[in-house]
Amino acid sequence: MTSGLLRRALVPVLGLLVVAALAYGAWRISYARALDGLAQRGWSDLALTTDRLTGQLQRYQDLAVMLVTHPALVGRLDGSVPQEEADALLLRAADRTGVMNMAYVDAEGHVLAAARPVSDSALPRSPAMPAYARALTGALGTSHGIDPALDRRAYYFAAPSFAAGGGVTGALLVAVNIDALEQEWRGERPAVFFTDTTGEVFVTNRSEILFWRRPEGSPGLVPATGPTPPFRAEVTGRGEELWHTDWGAYLPRTGLHLARDLPKIGLTGEALIETAPVRRIAALQAALVGLVGLAALGTFLWASQRRRVLARANALLETRVAARTAELSGTNLQLRREVAERQEAEAALKKAQADLVQAGKLSALGQMSAGISHELNQPLMAIRQFAENGTLLMERGRTEAAAQNLSRISELAERMGRIIRNLRAFAKQESSPVRPIDLTRAVETALEMTEARRAREGVTLDWSAPAGPIMALGGEVRLGQVLLNLMTNALDAMQGRETRHLTVAIDRGIGGRHRIRVADTGPGIAAPERIFDPFYTTKEVAAPEADGTGEEGMGLGLSISYGLVQSFGGRIRGRNLPQGGAEFTVELDRAPQEAAA
């Protein structure tokens, strides 16, 4: 027990250590990647700043080179041009270009012309002397320092002047005001400064560190006078140099130091990039990793606790399941027996329903039996009579008359065969799929089977066969059974009525369907909404008459007809007519070939 508690207590501690390690690793990786991106942006910023400074100085260098050959300056060497004219030329050029001063000096160091007064004796001590000395060698000279006359920082260019036969005869000195150049980009980010070969900051956009010097053997800077502020240099594992300083509010406390040598102007451009945003991004990413780790650790601890609780609950549940299994096994056996009994009962019910439907059809056959017997008896008696007459005619040699009797016998036999075929088709159960059938033929078959009863009961018929076949989708036998049932119901409804008139018509379909209408002059439908319900009937059970024409109502005829019409996608409806009587309508889809036509 004690070891288990100790193990569970160690898991959160180890998890916290892992999360802390992951957060620290995320911080290191994020910080290193962010420093790389910061260095790339810093190099770009430093390049832009150095290019801007060199571009600004380049203009004054070009000015010195182009103006040194001006005739007004060259004429000063032999005295052909007055000093006032040359001074005026240099003053106009200085005013238009913004330079601090311009002076034309001969090879001995005498000032021959100047935009502003310059002492000859001051030239050897001037910061421009190195540039002038290089110009006397025939090269373009540059130097920088504090201008003694104006006490300002100046950058000097010295362009040599050559004699016609060769040799240097003098030089044009141009002094550029560094303060004026710095005004354009002072205070911009990042902090940029330019140091000379002595390590002194000569140009910068941060005035706090102007004229600071780099001590020998140290990468940092110290002020020329006063106490030395804190400074610490750090080189990362990827080679970046970080400066930790406290040099003022406008200089980063921790900055990425970058340096670029500029031999063209004799300076080194350096930048100090603020790293605080990089550290914040790395800290946020590390915090995110830490939060995700803590969430994962919490989820793991919760899942572990939950698993232990579930294990205890599972053990208890298994005990209860084992106790319930035996009880359910007995119940399952009982349910299986009940299911088997219900399946047997359902099968018996379906068989009873099928038998009942067939009984309804046979009942209808029984109602028609008297009429069919009468219909078959007449052709049989006529066949007998024609056969006897034919024998006598043959004996008397009247072969033509005998042949006519034989033809009449053949017609009567065909009629009897047609009646028997219709009766057999009505009695059997059709299961063939829906196919194109002729509605006219189906109607005439049903009319032929009810012809004897109509004649016996004095029912008049209104039926006009359409010209040509009318094809619809259905089952020929099933449709015949439906039509025969509707006509039989119509005849039943008109028994005892003074007017007995049966109307049968076929309406060619509009919108893809044909319609068969069967109407009577009976009393109508008592409850049209229930007419297709099984076992609903308005007929009374009656004992069969002596001629076999008795009938009984089982309430299945219209229900069976409804199911048959539905089986091949049609629709059957019943309604009462305004003038009296009832009308049943059967709607069927048109056959594809007819619909295409």
The pLDDT tens digits of the residues spanning 470-527 come to 889 888 878 888 898 899 899 989 998 889 999 999 988 766 789 999 999 999 888 7
Give the residue-averaged pLDDT of 25-29: 77
Question: What's the order of all strands across the beta sheet hosting 571-576?
Answer: 460-462, 501-507, 513-519, 582-589, 571-576
Q: Which two tokens stand for residue 466?
A: 């359409």
Q: Tell me which residue of 575, 461, 597, 582 sits closest to 522, measured CA to CA.
A: 582
The answer to whether the bond into 190 is cis (omega within 30° of 0) is yes
Query: Does the structure show a pLDDT above 80 at 28?
Result: no
pLDDT, tens digit (0-9, with 9 covering 90-100), for 364-417: 556 555 556 655 665 776 677 668 777 877 887 888 877 877 887 886 677 677
**Amino acid in the structure at residue 409:** I
Plot region of 65 (φ>0 → left; ψ -120 to 50 → alpha; else → beta): alpha
Which H or E element spans position 171? strand 168-177
Task: Tell me the CA distances in angstroms from 236 to 35, 36, 257, 566, one per residue in order.
Answer: 10, 11, 12, 88
245: three-class secondary structure by DSSP = strand
Distance of CA 103 to the CA centre of its chain: 76
- Res. 549 pLDDT band, cuts 50 70 90: very low
Give the residue-averaged pLDDT of 439-452: 86
The reported pLDDT for the residue numbered 356 is 60
pLDDT, tens digit (0-9, with 9 covering 90-100), for 271-294: 998 888 878 887 888 788 888 888
Task: Tell me the CA distances in angstroms from 331 to 95, 317, 562, one per residue in order.
Answer: 115, 20, 43
pLDDT, tens digit (0-9, with 9 covering 90-100), for 330-344: 788 888 888 888 888
Q: Tell me which residue of 268, 281, 240, 272 sits closest to 253, measured CA to CA.
A: 272
Query: Does the structure show a pLDDT above 70 at 427?
Result: no
The reported pLDDT for the residue numbered 120 is 65
Q: Which two tokens stand for residue 455?
A: 């004649």
- Res. 551 pLDDT band, cuts 50 70 90: very low
The reported pLDDT for the residue numbered 426 is 56
- Res. 362 pLDDT band, cuts 50 70 90: low
- Res. 353 pLDDT band, cuts 50 70 90: low
The reported pLDDT for the residue numbered 173 is 93
Query: Does the structure show a pLDDT above 50 at 468?
Result: yes
CB 539 within 8 A of CB 551: yes
202 φ, ψ to 5°? -105, -30
Average pLDDT, the chain: 81
The reported pLDDT for the residue numbered 577 is 92
Give the residue-averaged pLDDT of 287-310: 83
Query: Does the structure show a pLDDT above 90 at 320?
Result: no
Q: Tell me which residue of 84, 125, 83 sits closest to 106, measured CA to CA.
A: 83
Query: Does the structure show a pLDDT above 50 at 250?
Result: yes
Query: Does the structure show a pLDDT above 50 at 552?
Result: no
317 vs 85: which has the higher pLDDT: 85
The reported pLDDT for the residue numbered 547 is 33
Query: Does the structure show a pLDDT above 60 at 425?
Result: no
The reported pLDDT for the residue numbered 449 is 80
- Res. 2 pLDDT band, cuts 50 70 90: low
495: three-class secondary structure by DSSP = coil
The 3-state secondary structure of 497-510, one letter per residue: CCCCEEEEEEECCC
CA gap 256, 271 in Å, rounded: 8
- 314: number of Cβ within 10 Å: 12
Query: Does the structure show a pLDDT above 60 at 543?
Result: no
The reported pLDDT for the residue numbered 520 is 94
CA atoms within 13 A on the CB side of 484: 30
Percent pLDDT > 70 in the chain is 84
CA atoms within 13 A on the CB side of 466: 18
CA gap 52, 188 in Å, rounded: 13
547 vs 238: which has the higher pLDDT: 238
The reported pLDDT for the residue numbered 156 is 93
Which H or E element spans position 168? strand 168-177
CB 503 within 8 A of CB 517: yes
Burial class from Cβ neighbours inside 10 Å (0-12, 13-18, 19+) for residue 205 reads buried
Which H or E element spans position 314? helix 276-395
392 vs 108: which has the higher pLDDT: 108
- 388: number of Cβ within 10 Å: 11
194 vs 403: which has the higher pLDDT: 194
Query: Which of 5-14, 43-52, 218-227 is predicted most confidently?
Result: 43-52
Q: Which residues contact 542 (CB under 8 A, 6 or more apart)?
A: 550, 551, 552
Q: Where are the beta strands (DSSP E) in 79-165?
A: 101-106, 111-114, 141-147, 152-162
Task: Tell me the CA distances in angstroms from 204 to 41, 51, 200, 313, 546, one per residue in order.
Answer: 19, 14, 11, 76, 136
Query: Does the structure show a pLDDT above 80 at 346?
Result: no
Q: Which residues contact 501 (CB under 8 A, 6 or more apart)?
A: 459, 460, 462, 494, 520, 521
Give the residue-averaged pLDDT of 435-459: 87
For the ranges 189-198, 222-231, 438-447, 538-547, which has the lowest average pLDDT? 538-547
Query: Does the structure show a pLDDT above 90 at 584?
Result: yes
- Res. 61 pLDDT band, cuts 50 70 90: very high
- Res. 548 pLDDT band, cuts 50 70 90: very low
For the ranges 109-113, 125-129, 210-214, which has the lowest average pLDDT? 125-129
The reported pLDDT for the residue numbered 82 is 92
The reported pLDDT for the residue numbered 385 is 65
The reported pLDDT for the residue numbered 187 is 76
End-to-end CA distance of the chain: 91
Q: Which two tokens stand for residue 363?
A: 């009942």
